[in-house]
Amino acid sequence: LTSSPTTPGLHVVHIAAEMAPVAKVGGLGDVVAGLGKSLQKKGHLVEIVLPKYDCVKYELIRDLRELDTVVESYFDGRLYKNKVWVGTVEGLPVYFIDPLHPDKFFSRGQFYGERDDFKRFSFFSRAALELLFQAGKKPDIIHCHDWQTAFVAPLYWDLYAPKGLNSARICFTCHNFEYQGTAPASELASCGLDVHQLNRPDRMQDYSSHDRVNPVKGAVVFSNIVTTVSPTYAQEVRTAERGHGLHSTLNFHTKKFIGILNGIDTDAWNPATDDFIQVQYSVNDIHGKAENKEALRKMLGLSTADPRKPLVGIITRLVPQKGVHLIRHAIYRTLELGGQFVLLGSSPVPHIQREFEGIANQFQSHDHIRLILKYDEALSHSIYAASDMFVIPSLFEPCGLTQMISMRYGSIPIVRKTGGLYDSVFDVDDDTIPLRFRNGYTFLNPDEQGLNSALDRALNHYNKNRERWQQLVQNVMNMDFSWDSSASQYEELYSKAVARAKSTTNRA
């Protein structure tokens, strides 16, 4: 193990459960990679610590090697050895922790959804801090994400800062407050945290019960900086209706809590260089888009009789948050309006998965509808490139990346006005918004009439005025959704927290 080289910028370590493209379930993976790369470009030293899952896409890691030293970390009253691997992903140095624990925490063939997730990730959070400590690293910022690595915040201040790993400020980003990882309070002791001290209403105690703890709440309380992934969502979760039980904690800690809209990785999502798509294209030459549409239709067995028929796409986890009843409605409504519809999605919720399997079967050889119920990165690129419109009828949406990716590929988003969708999609027909910012179709009420009011206008506009539609496509492809400005906001937050820490140390 070596300590960190010195660079003029900040030293930022992300401790996370996901990183695209090697270990991605959803937006969290995209954010860790995208923000990390952007901060690295700005001259900071960025490192990532991930679990060494068996299902990591190892072929995408460069120079992966096992370190000579093992890291011993505490769990359940004893020390366990961890093998540590290091490699480069998308130009970023990544440490992979492989616990030599009999429960084989990360050899389960999937990232999440195991019955002992609390144990797996509290173990990982502690082992990650132990790695930084034993490697003699002196990061300025330790950035943890979502409940899986929320344990880092209390572990850092209660155990590691006193031990001497005390150079850092802690930043916690919650990508979705729906997932809080609560568990019986006693389980917190396994990773060495003091249950008696932490199971209090102003610390980690869950609002639902006196004997449950809440890792996300712990990270909100114990971090120096708390962010979420859009300004509107940051407002929404401060309310009782939308705070998933954490609104009062967030209001109490409101000074350190801010919403920063995510960017997208514009290298990974670039129709001009995308190897997954049939024909590359750019804003200056969008002819390729029609060829991608034709190619996808052929591949999926959809009718190619009318090249101008609008193609509506959606790529999503099929969970209640995403407005599954509205997704289902959008399929039928698109058909009624004379369009084609392609859905790529999969569901961790068995009854939703079954329902969509039923719809997929109903349309399995239909000319205009196709549902593909799996996770498929390559196909996702082809759908962004081929579709004319993209529906996102979420009930709530912390940020949402698919509206930004679809715009990059010239597919016009049709979204419910909530969270990050509210902050990034502006209605074509809204005269209160300057023309150059208008980039999609929006609706407010999460019901069928609401969705129709946007979908109908979009299809109508597409069918009636091709020239204006082309202009709209070019306009949205030109919009900047790169990480650049969001990463600058993180940079500023980090720098201020580091400066505050220095001034407190100097005064002491």
- Which spans of this chain sit near ligand ADP (rule: CB under 6 A)? 26-27, 30, 315-317, 344-346, 375-377, 380, 399-402, 405
Contact 310, 459 (CB under 8 A): yes
- CA 143 from centre of chain: 15
Mode of pairing for the β-strands spanning 225-228 and 257-259: parallel
Shortest Cβ 53–ligand ADP spacing (Å): 17
Name which of 345 and 440 has its Cβ closer to ligand ADP. Answer: 345
Q: Which is nearer to ligand ADP, 57 or 317 (CB)?
A: 317
124 vs 356, beta carbon nearer ligand ADP: 356
Q: How far is the CB of 405 from ligand ADP (least distance, A)?
A: 6
Pick the closer one to ligand ADP by CB: 97 or 150.
150
Phi–psi pair at 200, nearest 5 degrees:
-130, 150
* CA pair distance 180, 213, nearest whole angstrom: 10
C-alpha radius of gyration, the chain, whole number = 23
What secondary structure, in 3-state letters, does 132-152 show?
HHHCCCCCCEEEEEHHHHHCH
The single-letter code of the amino acid at 174 is C
Q: How far is the CB of 23 from ligand ADP (least distance, A)?
A: 13
Q: How far is Cα of residue 273 from the mean position of the Cα atoms in its chain? A: 23
Half-sphere exposure of 489 (CA within 13 A, CB side): 17
Angle 374-439-459 from CA coordinates, rounded to 5°:
70
Q: Residue 316 Cβ, how far from ligand ADP at the closest point, in Å?
A: 5
Q: Whose Cβ is closer to ligand ADP: residue 316's or residue 482's? A: 316
Of 195 and 372, which has the nearer Cβ to ligand ADP?
372
Rank residues 99 and 400 by Cβ distance to ligand ADP and give the closer one. Answer: 400
Q: Burial letters for 70-90: b for 16+ Cβ neighbours within 10 Å, e otherwise?
A: bbebbbeeeebebebbbbebb
Which residue has the CB atom at the shortest distance from ligand ADP?
27
What is the CA 430 to chain-centroid distance, rounded?
29
Q: Which is nearer to ligand ADP, 182 or 382 (CB)?
A: 382
**Nearest distance, CB of residue 248 and ligand ADP, angstroms:** 25
Structure tokens at 263: 């960017």
Amino acid present at 218: G
- Record the tokens describing residue 67, joined without a space: 């370190």
Runs of H (alpha helix) within 363-447? 377-386, 402-408, 419-424
